[in-house]
Protein backbone atom coordinates (compact mmCIF):
# COMPACT_ATOMS: atom_id res chain seq x y z
CA UNK A 1 0.00 0.00 0.00
CA UNK A 2 2.86 2.34 0.94
CA UNK A 3 4.42 1.81 -2.50
CA UNK A 4 1.14 2.56 -4.31
CA UNK A 5 0.66 5.76 -2.30
CA UNK A 6 4.27 6.72 -2.99
CA UNK A 7 3.85 6.00 -6.71
CA UNK A 8 0.67 8.09 -6.96
CA UNK A 9 2.25 10.87 -4.90
CA UNK A 10 5.31 10.90 -7.19
CA UNK A 11 3.22 11.31 -10.36
CA UNK A 12 0.98 13.90 -8.70
CA UNK A 13 4.03 15.97 -7.68
CA UNK A 14 5.63 15.45 -11.09
CA UNK A 15 2.64 16.49 -13.19
CA UNK A 16 0.52 18.75 -10.98
CA UNK A 17 3.37 20.33 -8.97
CA UNK A 18 2.91 22.56 -5.96
CA UNK A 19 -0.14 24.48 -7.18
CA UNK A 20 -3.00 22.21 -8.23
CA UNK A 21 -5.17 25.15 -9.27
CA UNK A 22 -2.88 25.80 -12.28
CA UNK A 23 -3.38 22.23 -13.56
CA UNK A 24 -7.13 22.39 -12.91
CA UNK A 25 -7.34 25.80 -14.60
CA UNK A 26 -5.49 24.56 -17.70
CA UNK A 27 -7.92 21.62 -18.05
CA UNK A 28 -10.98 23.90 -17.62
CA UNK A 29 -9.60 26.47 -20.09
CA UNK A 30 -8.97 23.75 -22.69
CA UNK A 31 -12.49 22.37 -22.18
CA UNK A 32 -14.05 25.83 -22.67
CA UNK A 33 -11.83 26.39 -25.75
CA UNK A 34 -12.98 23.05 -27.20
CA UNK A 35 -16.63 23.89 -26.51
CA UNK A 36 -16.32 27.31 -28.21
CA UNK A 37 -14.39 25.88 -31.18
CA UNK A 38 -16.98 23.17 -31.72
CA UNK A 39 -19.73 25.79 -31.64
CA UNK A 40 -17.80 27.56 -34.46
CA UNK A 41 -17.02 30.56 -32.20
CA UNK A 42 -13.45 31.91 -32.64
CA UNK A 43 -11.60 30.81 -29.49
CA UNK A 44 -7.89 31.29 -30.33
CA UNK A 45 -7.60 34.20 -27.89
CA UNK A 46 -8.80 32.23 -24.87
CA UNK A 47 -5.79 30.00 -24.08
CA UNK A 48 -3.14 32.77 -24.03
CA UNK A 49 -5.31 34.89 -21.73
CA UNK A 50 -6.28 31.95 -19.51
CA UNK A 51 -2.69 30.70 -19.16
CA UNK A 52 -1.31 34.04 -18.12
CA UNK A 53 -4.26 34.76 -15.82
CA UNK A 54 -3.56 31.41 -14.10
CA UNK A 55 0.12 32.34 -13.79
CA UNK A 56 -0.66 35.75 -12.31
CA UNK A 57 -3.20 34.24 -9.89
CA UNK A 58 -0.78 31.56 -8.73
CA UNK A 59 1.96 34.17 -8.20
CA UNK A 60 -0.41 36.44 -6.33
CA UNK A 61 -1.48 33.60 -4.02
CA UNK A 62 2.16 32.65 -3.33
CA UNK A 63 3.40 36.18 -2.66
CA UNK A 64 0.41 37.20 -0.54
CA UNK A 65 1.06 34.22 1.74
CA UNK A 66 4.31 36.01 2.60
Binding site for another protein (CB under 8 A): 14-19, 22-23, 26-27, 30-31, 33-34, 37-38, 43-44, 46-48, 51-52, 54-56, 58-59, 62-63
Q: How far is the CB of 65 from another protein (least distance, A)?
A: 10
Q: How far is the CB of 16 from another protein (least distance, A)?
A: 7
DSSP, collapsed to helix, strand or coil, labels residue 19 as coil
Closer by beta carbon to another protein, 6 or else 17: 17
Backbone angles phi, psi at 3, to 5 degrees: -70, -40
Q: Which residues contact 57 (CB under 8 A, 6 or more apart)?
A: 21, 25
**Displacement of CA 21 from its chain's centroid (Å):** 6
Closer by beta carbon to another protein, 5 or else 64: 64
Amino acid sequence: MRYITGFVQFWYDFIVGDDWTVAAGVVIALAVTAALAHAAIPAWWLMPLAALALLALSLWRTTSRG
